[in-house]
Structure 1
Amino acid sequence: MALRGRPAKILSSADLDELCLFLQNLPFLKKNQIRALNLLQRVEQDFDKAEMKVLKLADREKSLHQQRQTLLEQIKLKEKNQQKLLDNEVEILELEIKKHERDYFFRLDRALESYMKIHKALLNDQIRLENERRRDVLKKSGKSISEAKKKRSEQNKRKYELGGAVLALFKELNVEIESKTSDEILTMLKNSMLLSSEITTTEIYKQAFSLSKSDNQANKLFIRALNGLPEFTFSNEKFHLVLLKKYL
């Protein structure tokens, strides 16, 4: 089973040197910090399990102390910018002035520790509220997002089906399009549709449709009528040539 929580920190020689310097610079030490400093200052540096526990606790206290000092600087900056201070912030600044006395030094440490917990709780609450707000937004927009996604899927499916139909049509008509670009194929289809539309507006096609009552039959009658024009003559000239020359 996987272990939960923060992985145990392994203190390197550099970490121990940094911890020793930190403890030496503190004006006052707690009991565990005194024990840790004594261990770090002894000649023999081969620590057993119990001693490492002392050193790790002291290192943890060092990290917390540095975090508290960061908060203290933020409070000082807040005062410098003439921002309204909270009651516990005012208390911390008052204790900071007297921190050179042992009692006030540890009172300041405890006040900062309490302030840090409150600060962390407020931050966690802000994160929670922001997460709830995001969930509400996603919940409200989820339906529209789902519908938009469904619409895009349907559109893509439709494009795929139309593309397949066009390819099948050209294949059935034995029209080679492998070497043609999409723009060229589009032009071919456009011209074909325009010609078909113009044909349906002609008087010959209208009469063909009126007689057949069917688009398919009207198309066939229209082609037959055109093919039949060369059978007739006008002034000893093929009738279809007369018409072509007239509208040329």
Structure 2
Amino acid sequence: MIRKNWRTALLVAASGALVALSGCSAGHANTRVKDEWMARVPESELGDVREAQTQRLQANDAIVRADVEIRDAERALEVVRREEGAARMRKEAEQASVKAAEAKGQRDQIGDAQASLKAAQGMHEAAKAQVAWREHVVEMKKGQKELREREAEVANAELSLAEYRALKNSGDVRADQLSEADFNKAVSEARSRLASTQKKIEKSQKQEREARAQWENLRDRAQGYGGSGRD
């Protein structure tokens, strides 16, 4: 009896899930024009559709380019991380040189070692700042990819709207199965997500500019010490 009730409950749950999925599919169908419908629309009435298709193609291409920029930024980050490690090792070596000079008690050697240490410390600080900047660059590039994705969503929504209008203007009665309000809502929601992402990327770009300015300031200061340091 218990097993029978369990099976019944399972069947009810499965049926409910299928209904829910069907409802979701139906909701999505309200903002999608079938390809076979569009095939019957005269080419002369597809001007806006063709333009929207071009915009979507460009948006998708921009996503691919954004991926490439992320990988380039990540490689650049790895390079400066290695440079930061080398700068840290040089600083540690100069610290050891200062201790060795102090142990000998030679004033000239101590002065030279301290000058070299100061230069190495400056270079290390600049290297750390460069790593921080490059990390911001990577995050900014990822944000730009998200922005490109939101732009693609807008392009997709606008293409669907253009297809619906072309279908309706062609006199196809199947357009009556759809609601222009649903298409307009999809476009509005996509644009809202795009605007939100644009605000995020503006903040990320500001942080990247600040990090770069910090690195450039420390780099220039370190280069001022460079003449007194050892290679």
Normalized against structure 2, the TM-score is what?
A: 0.24
Counting helix residues as a fraction of each chain, which structure ranks higher? 2
**Alignment TM-score, normalising by the size of structure 1:** 0.22
Kindly indicate whether structure 1 or structure 2 has the higher relative contact order, using CA contacts under 8 Å at least 6 residues apart: 2
In our comparison, the structure showing a higher alpha carbon Rg is: 1
